[in-house]
């Protein structure tokens, strides 16, 4: 099992640029989550999908953030335009079921720096 | 009140010590509870699930107190390799909406 795969591992961009983060969940997992982690705010849930459908996006900070899951094996998190305060580690995670009883499997994360 | 609260620490303990972390949660309807471990600059990894009757995995023991809405993690005979941040995780309703506490940092020294 390859685990959750995220790309890129590191992203450095200038303010105002578009950033796209990618995630491939573990095959067979029905739920996918995007988290953001900073020193000040810890791990924040941004959005999660169940069977490719967005269930709760209340954690998405602003309209500059959007996420899609066009199929069961791929998801993107896009920031447009990016701002320095978006600098953080963005984690994607998946779990096998959407019943509230399954733990999450995390990818290695994307470390985003916006200058 | 935060949905999941933990003492941030750090807890500095010598090898062989027993250390306990507590975590409180605000939603009485929560049904799933976990402890995750996160090493510096790494992703969080599941340490153990927490069951209603309490459960043990080697040197680690997890307890759940629904009436008081807190969970705990006990680590016995601490090892240097236990040094990490321990994250309390609680689900908030269906569809596996898992919320993480801010984490408790543990440093085990020789």
Other CB atoms within a 10 A radius of the CB of residue A96 amount to 17
Chain A, nearest residue to B102 by Cα: A42
A24's tokens: 């491939």
| Number of cross-chain residue pairs from A and B with Cβ atoms under 8 Å apart | 64
What share of residues in chain B are helix, strand, coil (percent, to 5)?
A: 5, 55, 45
- Could you tell me the two tokens for A72? 């069961």
Q: Are strands B70-75 and B55-57 parallel, antiparallel or unpaired?
A: unpaired
| Nearest chain A Cα distance for residue B78, angstroms | 25
Max CA-CA distance within chain B?
44
Is the Cβ of A43 closer than 8 Å to some Cβ of chain B?
yes
A52 touches chain B (CB under 8 A): no
Q: Is B52's Cβ below 8 Å from some Cβ in A?
A: no
Please say whether the beta carbons of A49 and A111 come within 8 A.
no
pLDDT tens-place values along chain A, 115 residues long? 689 999 999 999 999 999 999 999 999 998 999 999 999 889 999 999 999 999 889 999 889 999 999 999 999 999 999 999 999 999 999 998 755 567 889 999 999 999 9
Nearest by CB to B43, which of A98, A100, A108?
Answer: A108
Q: Is residue B94's pLDDT more than 70? A: no
């Amino acid at each position: 099992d390859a685990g959750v795969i995220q790309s890129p591992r590191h992203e450095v961009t200038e303010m105002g640029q578009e950033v796209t983060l990618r995630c491939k969940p573990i095959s067979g997992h029905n739920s996918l989550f995007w988290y953001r982690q900073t020193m000040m705010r810890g791990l924040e849930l941004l959005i999660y999908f169940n069977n490719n459908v967005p269930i709760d996006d209340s954690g998405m900070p602003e309209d500059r953030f959007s996420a899609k899951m066009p199929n069961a094996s791929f998801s993107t998190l896009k920031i447009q335009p990016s701002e320095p305060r978006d600098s953080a580690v963005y984690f994607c995670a998946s779990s096998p079921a959407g019943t509230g009883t399954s733990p999450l499997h995390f990818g290695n994360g994307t470390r985003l720096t916006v200058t | 009140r935060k949905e999941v609260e933990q003492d941030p620490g750090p807890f500095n303990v010598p090898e062989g010590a027993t250390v306990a972390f507590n975590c409180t949660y605000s939603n009485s309807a929560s049904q799933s509870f976990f402890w995750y471990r996160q090493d510096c600059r790494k992703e969080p990894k599941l340490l153990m699930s927490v069951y209603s009757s309490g459960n043990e995995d080697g040197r680690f023991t997890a307890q759940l107190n629904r009436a008081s809405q807190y969970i705990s993690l006990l680590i016995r005979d601490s090892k240097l390799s236990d040094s990490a941040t321990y994250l309390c995780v609680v689900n908030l309703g269906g569809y596996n909406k898992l919320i993480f506490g801010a984490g408790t940092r543990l440093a085990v020294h020789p």
